[in-house]
Structure formats: structure tokens, C-alpha cells
Amino acid sequence: MRVVVVGGGITGLSTAYELVATRDDVDVVLVEASERFGGKIRTQPFAGHPVDEAADAFLARVPDAVDLCRRLGLDHDLVTPAARQAYLYSRGELRPFPEGVVLGVPTDLDALAASGALSDAGVERARLDLTMGPDPARFGVDEPADESVGAVVRRRVGDEVFERLVAPLLSGVHAGDADRLSIAAGAPQLAAALRDHPSLVEGLRAQRAAGDPDAPVFYGLSHGTETLTTALVDALRLAGADLRHGNAVDRLEPTDGTGGYSLRLAGSGERVDADAVILCSPLDATGRLLSSLAPDVATAMAEVAYADVALVALAVPIDGIGRPLDGSGFLVAQPEGLLLTACSWASSKWAHLADPTVALLRASVGRADDTRAAALSDAQLVEAVRADLATTMQLEAAPSEVRVTRWPRALPQFEVGHLERVRMWREALADGHPRVLVAGAGFTGLGIPACIGQGLAAARAAAALVP
């Protein structure tokens, strides 16, 4: 059996690895359009350190990434952040992020009041959640209708909690408008809390009580996240997989009479035959390949919006910053109106990036509802970021080194009803083309663990086609 995996990001690499690791009777071909494998996972030297150009960590509570690292022998490279305290720029000041928040929703309302992140009126509005009674749209309902995160959070704990805590945190993950973000796809923890408890705050308190307070929240890799994708590529080559980068697929069509498929490579016109195909490319690319097989699915995929983001890395003298970097970084509340959405204090967050004289900062900009950064040149973007860092964290010194990384169409937007649409896409493919599978960030979850999990599931489904 030959399986062709299209897309060499973390999803495609995980898919191909699972196939070669579990089935020695399956030939695997991995085709990637760009000149490198790894997709949006990239680590490059910066100011003498390996600094990631996109994600530098992954959730610990979703085990797929940690498990895969251990399968690849990367146990000793796994690290946890050296600093757990995070900050929020809200109401004109950098304030400690309130203790006990879950996806930005406070569970300790006294800590929320002490933080100063909200006005007194905002705190009192949040307290109403405890006495306003069960949410009729969600409490005790097994499969409630999907809603936006904004609709649910504003209803339960008020506008200030949403705008100053929840929205900046979720925008850091999705780079989108949390008033349009599906709660089922983007914040299922919140949905579960309201399903099981009459109060959102009480439901999240119960979730926290059921967990281990000392358990790591995030893991990273001591030589950068690209360590993981490099290990996957090495394992695939060792197993004899056929790896092709710089090869875009521009056509996918059934092979007459065989039940298989033929894929045409754009550059050479070469055709690659497959018994099964797993599309792990971005939604727009996946939709183009499905245009003749499932045109309605392809059209729907093309309608999913994406957000452009950019990451500006700066190396600055520590004595040129007017406050201690005593945490992992900060988020910016959207009502503050800054271009900056977040800043990671990388050299404080990670012990392996610590430097006695130089601070390494990773400043994030861009959201689906804020495209200002795309209109700026790199030099203009750096100056705008420096101005926002001066405002938020008293950055006074000029950087000794700067790196701008732009990620156009980086993050798909999970708007209300997204998971139902994905279910319909997959059902349509299963009915008409059961040997064409799809996986990736645009389907059921962003983030490294979610993409890995989808890849592993797709590989198992493809392998099950042949006993």
C-alpha cells in the first residue's frame, strides 16, 4: 500500500511518522510545496541563541506532543518555563495576570479585584455570575447550539472580563476576534464548565480543583521547537520514506478502475500514484486539490478566513529596560489600542535562553480584525513595536539585533459552527472518496498537540484501509 501525505508541516510529518512507525508494509511519500519541512515551526540563531520564529511551547495537558517527543528520544530536551508569572497591560499599566484564571475567566474574584486589571464595576459584574442562576442555553445540555466565546462570556461575567482578560488571551492563540470565535472549537473548557455547573466561575473552579496545581502548563524544547520537526524528518528518512520538498501538488484525481488516486507535481508534471491520500496542507490548498472530487467541500474550505501575524524578535541591553523582567511576558488588553498584542520575555521565560546582560524579547502583532502591521515595512514595524514596548514595559535602549518574521495567512479562524462544518466536510469525503483524508490546523484544533493528534488519527485511519 502506498500513502501519499501532502503537506510537510507538523501535521504531515506526524502523519507520515505514525505510518512508518506502525506499518512496515506501507510505502509513504511526503510531498511539501516549500523548500523546507516543518511548516510554521522554525528555529533560527538569534543573538547567539536558538530562538523560535513562531510557537516556542506546547500545552502539557494535551499529551500528543509530549508523547511524540518521547517516542523520538527527545525526553531530555523537554523543558518547562523558568517563569510562571505572566502580566497583562490593562488600564494603562503592566499588571500581574490575576491568579486562578482559566482561558482568561477569573475563578478567584478577590485576586481579580486586587490585580487592578478591571474597574471596580467590572469586578462586581463578574461576581453576578455566582448568583444569576444556570445558563439556560448551556446548563445540562449535552449538545447545545454553538455560540461565540464573546456571547457566552459577556453574558456570564460581563464585558470587561471578556475584553480585558479573555479576548487578549484567546487572541494570542487564534489571532482573531473572540466575539466571533466558536466556543465549541476555540474554548471547549468554558462550554464544559457551563454544561456541568450553574455558574461559569464555579464550573471553572471545579476544573481547577480536579487538576494538579503543580503540573506543568507548557513544555518547550531546549534547542527550539524545530528540534521536533528535525527529529521527525530524520526518523522518516531512516525508515525509507520518500520525502520531497519543493514539490507542490496541483492536481488530485481518481485512478481509473483501481480505487486509488493520482497526484500531479506542479514543477515537473510527474504523477505519483497512491492507494490513499492524506491532505495536511492549509485549508485553501486542500480545497484546491479537492475542487474536482468534492466541489462543495472545496468551496466551503475557501471561505474560512485566516489571520496574518508577525513576530518581531529584539535583543536589548537589560539595563535599557526600566522594569525587571520577572515573568514570562505579557498580553495586551485590546481596549488599550496598541499594535502590540503580546510580548514574550524569552530570556526570562526559558532558562536555556537566559543571558546576564541581554534580554531577548519576542513581540507579537496582528489579528484577523487588525491588519495594520501588514501595511508597514519591516523598519516601520520595528519602530512601532519599539514604541509600544516603551509604553508598556519601559524599553528605552535601542536593540542590538532585530529579526522580523511575517506569517501571512497563519491562523484559520474558527467561527461559530466551525466543528459542524468540518464534520460535514469529512462525511462528504467519506461518502464519495473514503481514501482521501484531511487533517491540520484548519480542522479541529490549532497548536502543536492538536495538529499532531489529528495527524496520528489520520495515519491510523489510512492504515486501517488495508488489513
Every domain of the chain and the residues it spans: 2-39+224-304+414-463, 88-210, 306-412
The CA-to-CA distance between both ends of the chain, in Å, stands at 10
Beta strand 249-254 pairing with 401-412: unpaired
Q: Tell me the average pLDDT across 164-180.
A: 93
- Chain segment 307-326, per-residue pLDDT in tens: 999 999 999 999 999 999 99
Closest CA to 388 of 431, 424, 340, 348: 340
> What is the dotted CATH code of the domain comprising 306-412?
3.90.660.20
Output the CA angle 33-55-66, nearest 5 degrees. 100
Q: What is the mean pLDDT of the chain?
A: 95
pLDDT 10s digits, 71-105: 999 999 999 999 989 999 999 999 999 999 999 99
Task: Identify the pLDDT of residue 465.
Answer: 87
In this prediction, residues 59-71 reach a mean pLDDT of 95
- Inter-residue contact 33 to 249 (CB < 8 Å): yes
pLDDT confidence of 433, banded at 50, 70, 90?
A: very high
Task: Output the pLDDT for position 142.
Answer: 85
At residue 466, does pLDDT exceed 80?
A: no
Per-residue pLDDT at 288 exceeds 90: yes
What residues contact 181, with CB distance under 8 A and at least 6 apart?
148, 149, 150, 170, 174, 187, 413, 414, 415, 416
Residue 31 to residues 145, 241, 259, 289, 316, Cα–Cα distance (Å)? 38, 11, 21, 13, 40
449: pLDDT strictly greater than 80: yes
SS3 category, 257: coil
pLDDT at 106: 96
DSSP string for residues in 354-378: --SSEEEEEEEE-BTTB-GGGGS-H
Mean pLDDT computed over 149-166? 97
Q: Give mean pLDDT, residues 220-226.
A: 97
Please give the pLDDT value at position 448. Answer: 97
Q: Nearest 5°: phi and psi at 8? A: -105, 30
Mean pLDDT of 34-60: 97
Q: What is the pLDDT of residue 258?
A: 78
The burial of 248, by beta-carbon neighbours within 10 Å (0-12 exposed, 13-18 middle, 19 or more buried), is given as: middle
Report whether 161 contacts 153 (CB < 8 A). Answer: yes
Q: What is the mean pLDDT of residues 12-40?
A: 96
Q: Does domain 2-39+224-304+414-463 have CATH number 3.50.50.60?
A: yes
Q: Check whether 467 has a pLDDT greater than 70.
A: no
Give the percent of the chain with pLDDT over 90: 94
Instruction: Read off the pLDDT band of 34 (50, 70, 90).
Output: very high
Q: SS3 for 215?
A: coil
Q: In terms of pLDDT, which residue wins out, 418 or 256?
A: 418
Q: What is the pLDDT of residue 291?
A: 96
- 3-class secondary-structure state, position 255: coil
> How many Cα neighbours within 13 Å face the side chain of 30?
33
What distances in angstroms separate CA 325 from CA 221, 348, 350, 466, one per listed residue? 21, 7, 12, 55
pLDDT of residue 171: 85
The closest of 199, 81, 80, 181 to 130, measured between CA atoms, is 199
Mean predicted confidence (pLDDT) in 1-12: 97
Query: Quick one: angle between helices 10-22 and 448-463, nearest 10?
Result: 40
Question: Is residue 319 classed as helix, strand or coil in its secondary structure?
Answer: helix
Q: What is this structure's pTM?
A: 0.95
Mean pLDDT on 131-149: 93
Cell of 136: 439556560
pLDDT, mean of residues 179-200: 95
Cβ within 8 Å of residue 309, ≥6 positions away: 175, 364, 365, 366, 367, 373, 406, 407, 410, 411
What gap in Å lies between CA 362 and CA 53, rounded to an integer? Answer: 9
Give the mean pLDDT of 16-31: 96
Quick one: pLDDT at residue 47?
97
* Domain 88-210 = CATH 1.10.3110.10: yes
Average pLDDT of span 116-130: 97
pLDDT of 258-267, one tens digit each? 789 999 999 8
Who contacts 421 (Cβ-Cβ below 8 Å, separation ≥6)?
300
Predicted confidence at residue 257, as pLDDT, reads 76
pLDDT for 29: 98
* Interatomic CA distance for residues 273 and 262, integer angstroms: 4
Q: Examine domains 2-39+224-304+414-463 and 88-210 and report if their fold is the same.
A: no
pLDDT tens-digit map of 359-391: 999 999 999 989 999 999 999 999 999 999 999
Q: 423 falls in which pLDDT band (50, 70, 90)?
A: very high
